[in-house]
Amino acid sequence: MSAIIDKGKESMAQKKSQRNHKKNSASIWRSAEEIISPESIAADTQLWNDGREFPASVQELIDRAQNANLNRKSFLTLMGASLSLAGVSCMKAPVEKIVPYVERPIGHIPGKPVYYATARVTADAVTPVLVKTREGKPIKIEGHEDHPLYRGAVSADTLATIWDLYDPDRLKTAFIKEGNTFKEAKTEEVLAAVAKKLTGTVRILAKASFSPSERKALAELAKATKAKVVTYDAIGALAEIVAGDEASYGSNVVPAYRIDKADFILAIENDFLGTWLSPELFTRQFASRRNPDKGDMNRLVVVESNMTLTGSNADSRLTIHAGSHGTLALALANLLLPGSPLAGDAAVRNTVSGYTPAVAAAVTGLTEEQIVALAEELKANKGKSLVLGGGTSSKDARPGSLQIAVNLLNSILGNEGQTISTKAALKKTNDLSDAKAMGDLLEELNSGKVDVLIIDRANPVYELPGLGMADAIRKAKTIIYLGYHKNDTAVEAHYLLPVSHYLESWGDAESYGYYYVVQPAIRELFDTRSAGDILLALAGSKQKFSDIVRQSAKSYIKGDFETAFTRALSMGYVVVETEGSSPARKFRSAALANVIAPKEALSGYRVSLYRSVAIGDGSGANISFRQELPDPISKMTWDNYVAVSVADAKANTWKMGDVLRLKTAKATLELPLFIQPGLRKGSLAVAIGYGQTNIGQVAAGVGRNAYELAIAHNGVLQYSAIPVTVEQTSNREKLATTQKHYELGVKRGLVRIATLEDYRKNPRAGHEHEEVPHPGPDGKSKAKGLYTPHKYTGNRWNLNVDLTKCTGCSACVISCYSENNIPVVGKDDVLMGREMSWLRIDRYYSYQTEEAEKADPDMVSPDVFFQPVMCQHCENAPCENVCPVGATGHSDDGLNYMSYNRCIGTRYCANNCPYKVRRFNYFEYWDGKLRDPQQFSLNPDVTVRSRGVIEKCSFCQQRISEKRQAAKVEGRELKDGEIKTACQQSCPADAITFGNIHDSGSQISAKTQEPRTYKILAQLNVEPAVSYQVRIKNQGKA
Amino acid sequence: MLFKLAKFATPVLGAAFLAWLFFAPPQRVGYAPEQPIAYSHQLHAGKHNMDCQYCHTGVAESKKAGVPSLNICMNCHLYGTMGYVDGKLSSELDKLKKLFAEKKSPEWIRVHNLPDHVKFPHAPHVKALSKEGAATKEACAVCHGNVDQMVVVSQQMPLNMGWCVNCHRDYRDQNNYRTHGVSTSCNVCHY
């Protein structure tokens, strides 16, 4: 990567001048505006104190004081009063009470965490998790490390479900609508009342379920009320696969994608690392093959129209026009068909023959050479490659359109049965989503035939505005809603029945060859019931849902049931079918009629809807932690926006935050724009999941509802390449993006990158010319510092992040928030740069060469890199020696610690920190702001910081202490790998290693000695305890 | 000269005294609040010589020693015949039994209370202070005093940072820190 890393044998001076020169040419940058309209970031830099690392905050404080009408006299009065009150409060120690258990449950020792294995079930996937409970209260979700498939992988969204449990805006009891208002009522009573009303024509609208027991309960209800069950899946990820596989193979399973078995992965409009099906599982599988040191390196090529997490992790990313994915897939099929098993199929040949590279190039915007080269690479990896397609942003007007094209490619390449297997697949998926049944239901509703409509945890009013759902369901005489929130659908209902969180209820699930038992970790916090229990109660059944779960488990568990069931509960899962290859299914050429693949370039603006990593489908939008998690690519918080290409921004002189009006035939949506590198002219993208009106205090009014743009074709919703007209309004909105926050004054950035080719030639590629600290007087030894070096006799903790594995998925960020009681600050404070995250993920754009950068002025295909940055726990920490009160210092196990009770908030340390990882607690973000029962989510092992102190990453000191104390009690030494930091535990890519550097046999010692390892800002001689491994991109042979 | 000294020193000393009055950490030695049930450690741990761990079950394995759950009390007082004096149930035990029947816990007043920013784990301390063959209470007495002689539990040691650190210094053994030594780094107790 010559543009970033200079090569050659010139003298130091020459090297230096060359480096300076190159800094100004092909550089690493962090936002598109830096390149296209530097003047538009003037406001931003002004806030950030003209690039002085910290936002100017004084003016705002003055404003607040003036608004409060605080003059000198009243100020002094208040100060005096608060001073004397402070004194009074110190006079007496608080009286605390201890309330012991009446009967202590066996195994529960106060102060010791208890872990339960359970599973989180969403509409797309099942994730095995461990729930950490303290004194009976769940406080954290952890990955399930013993699970053979997931091996501890967990996503940011799943980690955030701990706050779903403690969401104060949850439905806490049943409600009955009287007039226009809801009246609280006991769930038991409402259930009994509602059960009597289920007469006449009853219809049930449900979301697809992985749970055999819930299906049984639903069937029971349907039988008892003679109701028809309609399932739907607004996102459509699974439904698309099933539709595609049904058409192409006649089988309705979702196959197992064995990404870890593929040497070459092609993802077409598919965000499998970010949002598609089980991103955490796919990340684990993908990252398990990113080992340049062991010579085991897969290659990922992504073809997409919007910049997704997967695209930003691609070894090669090809940007296409929105809506041209089908064309590209068929063009590849056309090139690969000769000599393949399907070569003799005339129907296939006739369909694809029209898609020559020239046609595809015109439609997609790629060059013919790129398409041919991609086909060649696929050909070279027959049977060892994997083509993935589908997801929200490629949902076409016909069901399974892209999926069929992708199936064709996999069949041609002989991947079918190898890297895509029907063994240990997702079965019983025939009730996923049925557009026809949905159409029938709409008709019935509109004609007023439906007496009772039961809606089971679905939100059709919000998700399906294109189908006119709101008007339709109002025509039902009685609407019964089962769910977690009083959301946009619930407010239309007559009866609201509160459903328990998965950590409060029994349940089960089946997916990818595993059967999971979902077990409660806490009794219901409120007057809620598990969905299964509600369905059974409505059906008039006397059975308990937990008994149904036991019954279902019997068909999956072998051997003595009680023993095996107890074991299943402690493990959380039962293996039903082990993974492996399967016989290849035969492709049916007739399916190709359903593929939408334009032969001519699409005109005008095309907007694709996508799911964001943080908010997803919007069902968890009421959690502020999800809202404040910066989007991995745009680093945007608290809002959705329309992503526009740099080319369009230039052509229309659009600036970040300008509000655009998007119009389809039926809907109009006004959204602020965000200039996103990696898009082609005409392609737009908007995230769904935002813009809910009723879900709760946090999410209400955040963003706009992008579902409104979706076009319905006979009940099938199109999310991909929706034609829109775009107008610029005169409005502007502030975008709370963190991408420019805590920017370091280092032009070259901190991320180091190299190609696999360069790495093989030189293992130190990427950082071979790393800056080194000034030498001592003899020119060789290290310069002596002012302070005596630390001596370590015991442990010395170090952490390593492998940037080749890291995908930027942000699970670590949420895990850190959850573990360390980090508060969210809200949009206004994010705008002022006060986000509290101890662990930030820096995102860089770059190009491989200067020529590539010059050839791409519109930033259509930049490379993207991620780098998690936390406190580096420097050996010669600049923060330590400026603290006037000794609040931060160095421990004898190599940690840079922070004692909050000493901190007086001078912020000298934050000012002196070269990595900008220290965060100042400006306001009392927790105290008095927590709404019951949010306080239960706090980790009792970590101090809840008050206003006015600096806080930062502690390497999860509480986890170190816990294990160290356990080792002391057991009279042994700590084992390597025993201590896992929260970020490390949750990392689905296994990119983080933590351990004792003084133990020569430890994993961390091995990592630190690898030639790929480097430390950031090494020239400062601060000697950080965190090291990174150079990101290696596998450019392949092409 | 003396007058001048007094003139300037008085307000300074006065201010210092007032500041000390206001800001000095509360002295809790001798703190012996009245508990909802007049439980006597002297009777249980002293007279009957019960081991501390019989009730404080978590002390050797958890951060918290743990106040016994009522079912532990009931081992002797419900199923056994303890607590009857001349065939009459003591009035304090009556309170306990009523609570147990109602499935309620007494709200004990915490005597040894560290600030929230101090993380004190019992288990490693008990491990370090226990001597081979000696009763647990000898280890406990280092910080809690002779509880087996207390009718009403009171705080005996200051339990402030200086007191903790003194002991940590005495036990400090840098060379053997990894297994048994004690550290005085802030992060040992504050995080």
pLDDT band for A36, please (50, 70, 90 cuts). low
Identify the closest residue of chain A to B123 by CA–CA distance. A969
Q: What is the pLDDT of residues A350-378, one digit of tens each?
A: 888 889 999 999 999 889 999 999 999 99
Mean pLDDT of B49-62: 90
Mean pLDDT of A508-524: 91
Query: A144 pairs with which residues across the strands?
Result: none
pLDDT band for A743, please (50, 70, 90 cuts). low
Has residue A801 got a pLDDT over 80?
A: yes
pLDDT band for A740, please (50, 70, 90 cuts). low
The answer as to CATH 3.40.228.10 being correct for domain A237-426 is yes
Residue A668 neighbours by CB distance under 10 Å: 13
Topology alike, domains A174-235+431-500+526-552 and A237-426: no
Q: Kindly report the backbone phi and psi dihedral angles of residue A728, in degrees, each rounded to the nearest multiple of 5, phi listed first.
A: -90, 130
pLDDT band for A70, please (50, 70, 90 cuts). low
Alpha-carbon span A101 to A512, nearest angstrom: 41
CB burial class (10 A; 0-12, 13-18, 19+) of residue B20? exposed
Identify the closest residue of chain A to B183 by CA–CA distance. A892
Per-residue confidence (pLDDT) for residue A173, from 0 to 100: 92
Per-residue confidence (pLDDT) for residue A467, from 0 to 100: 79
Q: What is the pLDDT of residues A574-590, one digit of tens each?
A: 998 888 888 888 888 88
A72 interfacial to chain B (CB closer than 8 Å): no
HSE-up (13 A, CA, CB side) for residue A951? 30
Mean pLDDT of B68-75: 89
Q: What ipTM score was computed for the predicted complex, to two decimals?
A: 0.85
Residue in the block written with tokens 């038992």: A517
CATH number of A603-732: 2.40.40.20
Mean pLDDT of B16-26: 71
CA distance B2 to chain A (A): 33
Per-residue confidence (pLDDT) for residue A159, from 0 to 100: 93
Q: What is the pLDDT of residues A896-920, one digit of tens each?
A: 999 998 899 898 999 899 888 999 9
Per-residue confidence (pLDDT) for residue A602, from 0 to 100: 85
Q: What is the pLDDT of residues A982-999, one digit of tens each?
A: 999 999 999 999 999 988
Per-residue confidence (pLDDT) for residue A58, from 0 to 100: 55
Cβ–Cβ gap B117/A900 under 8 Å: yes
Mean pLDDT of A541-557: 90
Of A90, A112, A968, Cβ closest to residue B180? A968
Q: What is the pLDDT of residues B88-121, one digit of tens each?
A: 777 888 888 889 999 999 999 999 988 888 999 9
Q: Tell me which chain A residues have a C-beta less than 8 angstroms from the C-beta of B119.
A: 941, 958, 961
Per-residue confidence (pLDDT) for residue A57, from 0 to 100: 53
B132 interfacial to chain A (CB closer than 8 Å): no
A732 interfacial to chain B (CB closer than 8 Å): no
* Binding-face residues of B in 72-111 toward A, CB within 8 A: 72, 99-100, 103-110
Q: Tell me which chain A residues have a C-beta less than 8 angstroms from the C-beta of B67.
A: 98, 100
Q: What percentage of chain A reaches a pLDDT higher than 90?
A: 34
Has residue A777 got a pLDDT over 80?
A: no
Q: Which of A82, A97, A963 to mutate to test the interface with B (most CBs of B within 10 A)?
A: A97
CA distance B175 to chain A (A): 6
Domain segments of chain A as ranges:
5-88, 174-235+431-500+526-552, 237-426, 603-732, 753-775+792-1033
Cβ–Cβ gap B70/A103 under 8 Å: yes
Per-residue confidence (pLDDT) for residue A66, from 0 to 100: 62
Cβ–Cβ gap B177/A794 under 8 Å: yes
Mean pLDDT of A260-271: 92
Cβ–Cβ gap A965/B124 under 8 Å: yes
Alpha-carbon span B63 to B58, nearest angstrom: 8
Alpha-carbon span B12 to B161, nearest angstrom: 27
Per-residue confidence (pLDDT) for residue A82, from 0 to 100: 66
Q: Which of B178, B180, B183, B185 to mutate to test the interface with A (most CBs of A within 10 A)?
A: B178
Per-residue confidence (pLDDT) for residue A655, from 0 to 100: 86
Cβ–Cβ gap A111/B63 under 8 Å: yes
Q: Tell me which chain A residues have a C-beta less than 8 angstroms from the C-beta of B121.
A: 111, 961, 965
* Binding-face residues of B in 11-30 toward A, CB within 8 A: 22-23, 25-26, 28
CATH number of A753-775+792-1033: 3.30.70.20
- How many beta-carbon pairs under 8 angstroms link A with B? 159
Q: Which of A446, A409, A462, A563 is nearest to A203 (CA)?
A: A446
Mean pLDDT of A437-466: 86
Mean pLDDT of A263-268: 92
Q: Tell me which chain B residues have a C-beta less than 8 angstroms from the C-beta of A104.
A: 57, 69, 71-72
What does the DSSP 8-state code read for residue A842?
E
Q: Tell me which chain A residues have a C-beta less than 8 angstroms from the C-beta of B179.
A: 967-968, 971-973
A993 alpha carbon, distance to own chain's centre: 21
Q: What is the pLDDT of residues A190-220, one digit of tens each?
A: 988 888 888 888 889 888 888 889 888 988 8
Alpha-carbon span A623 to A158, nearest angstrom: 12
Of A793, A900, A961, Cβ closest to residue B119? A961
Mean pLDDT of A730-737: 86
Per-residue confidence (pLDDT) for residue A1025, from 0 to 100: 92
pLDDT band for A136, please (50, 70, 90 cuts). confident
Cβ–Cβ gap A95/B116 under 8 Å: no
Query: A317 pairs with which residues across the strands?
Result: A302
pLDDT band for A6, please (50, 70, 90 cuts). very low
Cβ–Cβ gap B113/A93 under 8 Å: yes
pLDDT band for A15, please (50, 70, 90 cuts). very low
Alpha-carbon span A503 to A520, nearest angstrom: 5
Q: Tell me which chain A residues have a C-beta less than 8 angstroms from the C-beta of B188.
A: 891, 961
B129 interfacial to chain A (CB closer than 8 Å): no
CA distance A487 to chain B (A): 38
Map A277-299 to HEC letters: CCHHHHHHHHHCCEEHHHCEECE
Assigned token pair, A552? 């279902």
B69 interfacial to chain A (CB closer than 8 Å): yes
Spatial contact of A864 and A676, defined as CB atoms under 8 Å apart: no
A792 interfacial to chain B (CB closer than 8 Å): no
Per-residue confidence (pLDDT) for residue B106, from 0 to 100: 92
Q: Tell me which chain B residues have a C-beta less than 8 angstroms from the C-beta of A901.
A: 115, 117, 190
CA distance A83 to chain B (A): 10
Alpha-carbon span A552 to A559, nearest angstrom: 15
Of B66, B110, B128, Cβ closest to residue A109? B66
Has residue B130 got a pLDDT over 90?
A: no
Per-residue confidence (pLDDT) for residue A521, from 0 to 100: 92
Q: Tell me which chain B residues have a C-beta less than 8 angstroms from the C-beta of A103.
A: 69-71
Identify the closest residue of chain A to B185 by CA–CA distance. A891
CA distance B31 to chain A (A): 11
The region, left, alpha or beta by phi > 0 then psi within -120 to 50, assigned to residue A609 is beta
pLDDT band for A394, please (50, 70, 90 cuts). confident
Mean pLDDT of A41-58: 51
Per-residue confidence (pLDDT) for residue A868, from 0 to 100: 93
Alpha-carbon span A445 to A473, nearest angstrom: 6
Alpha-carbon span A14 to A361, nearest angstrom: 43
Q: Tell me which chain B residues have a C-beta less than 8 angstroms from the C-beta of A954.
A: 187, 191
Q: What percentage of chain A reaches a pLDDT higher than 70?
A: 89
| Mean pLDDT, all residues of chain A | 85
Mean pLDDT of A876-887: 90
DSSP annotation string for A926-981? STTTPPTTGGGGS-TTS----TT-EE---SSHHHHHHHHHHHHHHT-PPPTT----
Assigned token pair, A385? 């490659």
SS3 label, residue B117: coil
A904 interfacial to chain B (CB closer than 8 Å): no
Of B70, B179, B191, Cβ closest to residue A100? B70
Assigned token pair, B101? 């029947």
CATH number of A174-235+431-500+526-552: 3.40.50.740
Q: What is the pLDDT of residues A303-333, one digit of tens each?
A: 999 999 999 999 999 999 988 999 999 999 9
Has residue A482 got a pLDDT over 80?
A: yes
Has residue A697 got a pLDDT over 60?
A: yes
* Binding-face residues of A in 874-903 toward B, CB within 8 A: 889-893, 895, 897, 899-902
Q: Tell me which chain B residues have a C-beta less than 8 angstroms from the C-beta of A890.
A: 185
